[in-house]
């Protein structure tokens, strides 16, 4: 009797182990999304991703057009891309479409981009803005025109070379921040600085520009051309404002990220920005990290950076997009760590792993 009871207990213990595989295999409709991904997540450059109402929106320029993608999965940035705008056949913005950004401001979507005449040299780049017709980032846009990024706001004469324009909202005031030249030149081998100006609304710059950063540090001056470009806004949980920007030459492996921290209350005052860098740079296996944008995981518990890297250390602009999470230092500044190598398994953003269907 005792022996029979022992066999009964053993059968109860091992039964789930024996039966579970067959139970799982009998559920053909169950499909679990992988909880990991590898970099690169896509080809391309100047990645811009923004999150709204549970969806990630990604914008890129290619073939003379702007494409917007919508996805619940941060690691699938280019899902169902829709072409939302095509460059005109003539005019100031007919060629050289660079680094678009998608912003939701005052109940509408706005796309900021740089364009100009064909090159090289690329000496005619200016910043433009498109406004959505409806509250749909994948819908129709109206070309609002060129933004004024010069020194004569009253007459708007002698507009200056500008690229990579982004928007900062701070204490109920909106600002445009971009990379530009001190003066228009006949060569694109011209140093680039960061400028800021007040905005009257998302379509209009309303003050003269103010220079807030120049490429002066060794990690900014590079070996061929001194550059500050690709400014992006990043806020910590305390609401402190950072500008994370790209430094040095984008076509070389030394391309890296620098940081400006707003230490005062006036973003237009250059003395209220504190520089630090590099805060993110390449490794022996990851080259030329730069032009980042920032978002959070699906559940909002993690902070993520999207950035591009060069596919090789050789000079050139063939690039791919990487994603990785980052932390914060005790002083409130971002800690990006080191760029992850291609092919390394990374856990998907928190809240992004779930079954497509359930057992029951």
Burial class from Cβ neighbours inside 10 Å (0-12, 13-18, 19+) for residue 123 reads middle
Domain that residue 262 falls in:
51-286
Is 304 inside any structural domain?
no
Is 157 inside any structural domain?
yes
Catalytic residues: 46, 229
Which residues have a Cβ under 8 Å from the Cβ of 237 and sit 6 or more positions away? Answer: 328
Is 329 inside any structural domain?
no
Is 324 inside any structural domain?
no
Is 11 inside any structural domain?
no
| Domains contained in the chain, number | 1
Is 244 inside any structural domain?
yes
Is 103 inside any structural domain?
yes
Question: What's the CATH code of the domain at 211?
Answer: 2.115.10.20
pLDDT tens series, the chain, 360 aa: 444 444 444 444 444 443 333 333 334 444 445 799 999 999 999 999 999 999 999 999 999 999 999 999 999 999 889 999 999 999 999 999 999 999 999 999 999 999 999 999 999 999 999 999 999 999 999 999 999 999 999 999 999 999 999 999 999 999 999 999 999 999 999 999 999 999 999 999 999 999 999 999 999 999 999 999 999 999 999 999 999 999 999 999 999 999 999 999 999 999 999 999 999 999 999 999 999 999 999 999 999 999 999 999 999 999 999 999 999 999 999 999 999 999 999 999 999 986 443 332
Q: In 10 A of CB 284, how many CB atoms?
A: 8
Is 297 inside any structural domain?
no
């Amino acid at each position: 009797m005792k022996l029979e009871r022992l066999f009964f207990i053993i059968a109860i213990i091992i039964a789930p182990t024996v039966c579970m595989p067959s139970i799982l295999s009998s559920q053909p409709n169950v499909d679990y999304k992988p909880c990991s991904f590898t970099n690169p997540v896509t080809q391309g450059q100047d990645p811009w991703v923004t999150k709204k109402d549970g969806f990630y929106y990604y914008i890129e320029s290619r073939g003379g057009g702007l494409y917007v993608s919508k996805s619940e999965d941060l690691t699938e940035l280019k899902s169902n891309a829709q072409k939302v705008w095509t460059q005109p056949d003539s005019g100031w913005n007919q060629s050289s479409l660079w680094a678009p950004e998608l912003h939701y401001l005052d109940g509408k979507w706005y796309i900021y981009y740089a364009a100009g005449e064909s090159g090289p040299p690329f000496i005619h780049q200016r910043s433009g803005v498109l406004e959505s017709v409806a509250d749909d980032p994948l819908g129709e846009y109206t070309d609002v025109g060129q933004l004024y990024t010069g020194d004569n706001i009253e007459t708007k004469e002698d507009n200056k070379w500008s690229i990579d324009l982004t928007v900062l909202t701070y204490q109920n005031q909106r600002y445009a921040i971009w990379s530009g030249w001190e003066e228009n030149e006949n060569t694109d081998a011209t140093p680039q600085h960061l400028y800021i100006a007040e905005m009257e609304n998302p379509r209009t710059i309303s003050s003269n520009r103010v220079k807030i950063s120049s490429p002066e540090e060794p990690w900014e001056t590079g070996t061929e051309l001194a550059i500050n470009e690709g400014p992006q806004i990043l806020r910590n949980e305390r609401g402190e404002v950072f500008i994370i920007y790209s430094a040095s030459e984008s076509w070389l492996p030394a391309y890296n990220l620098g940081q400006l921290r707003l230490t005062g209350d006036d973003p237009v005052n250059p003395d209220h920005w504190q520089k630090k860098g590099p805060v993110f740079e390449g490794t022996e296996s990851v080259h030329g990290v730069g032009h980042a944008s920032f978002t959070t995981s699906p559940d909002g518990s993690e902070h993520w950076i999207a950035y591009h890297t060069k596919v090789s250390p050789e000079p050139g602009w063939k690039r791919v997009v990487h994603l990785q999470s980052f932390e914060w230092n005790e002083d409130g500044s971002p800690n990006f760590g080191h760029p992850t190598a291609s092919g390394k398994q990374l856990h998907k953003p928190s809240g992004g792993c779930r079954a497509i269907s359930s057992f029951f």
